[in-house]
Amino acid sequence: MEEVTSSIPVRSANLLQNFTPGSRTSWVSFGLAPHEPSCIQYFMTPRRPSVVIINDHIDTCTGLAELLELDGFEAYSCFSGVEGLYQVTIRTPDAVLLDMNMPGMSGLEVCAAIRNRQSIANTAIVFHSGEQKPANLDGADAFLTYPVPLDILAAVLRATISKRSA
């Protein structure tokens, strides 16, 4: 993909726009007035893939969120299916990392609810569970059984996000 650069005059400075299809636009200001403290300022950073983690085991959920944050994701923790579905609806993440068995609303019910809501139906869904893979996983993009090394988990999330984005 080719990067496109354009310059926009703004007051006593110019704003340089760098755009690469599929990523966020970055902006750099230059030629600022002499009284400005810095001649170059970056206004935007590349977009990180976002994931909502839904798992009723609090330590597992928060631990996964912290590890995925370190691996470049923007991660949100939810400890029930109902809370997770709400967060997926308002945040519209790139992916959902979903436990299978939870009290109240199960992972399969959350998955079905996501697929039935037009605004979030194209969200990548990866099941991450200690259970054996069930015969029927309608709507899921992948199923991983505990324990999964972080590099594999991150790679599966990125692959399902790419597949859904294409």
Q: Which parts of 13-164 are beta strand (E)?
A: 13-19, 26-30, 41-42, 50-54, 74-78, 95-98, 124-129, 142-145
Residue 136 and residue 24 in contact, taking contact as beta carbons nearer than 8 Å = no
pTM: 0.72
Cis peptide before 147 (omega within 30 of 0): yes
> Are 51 and 96 spatial neighbours (Cβ–Cβ below 8 Å)?
yes
H helix or E strand, kind and range, residue 102: none
Tell me what pLDDT residue 45 has. 58
Ramachandran area for residue 162 (φ above 0: left; ψ -120 to 50: alpha; else beta): alpha
Confidence of residue 152 (pLDDT cuts 50, 70, 90): very high
Superfamily of structural domain 50-165: Response regulator (3.40.50.2300)
Instruction: Confirm if 147 and 125 have CB atoms less than 8 A apart.
Output: no
Q: Give domain limits for the chain.
A: 4-42, 50-165
- pLDDT by residue (tens digit) across 11-44? 455 545 555 555 555 555 455 444 444 444 445 5
137 band by pLDDT with thresholds 50, 70 and 90: confident
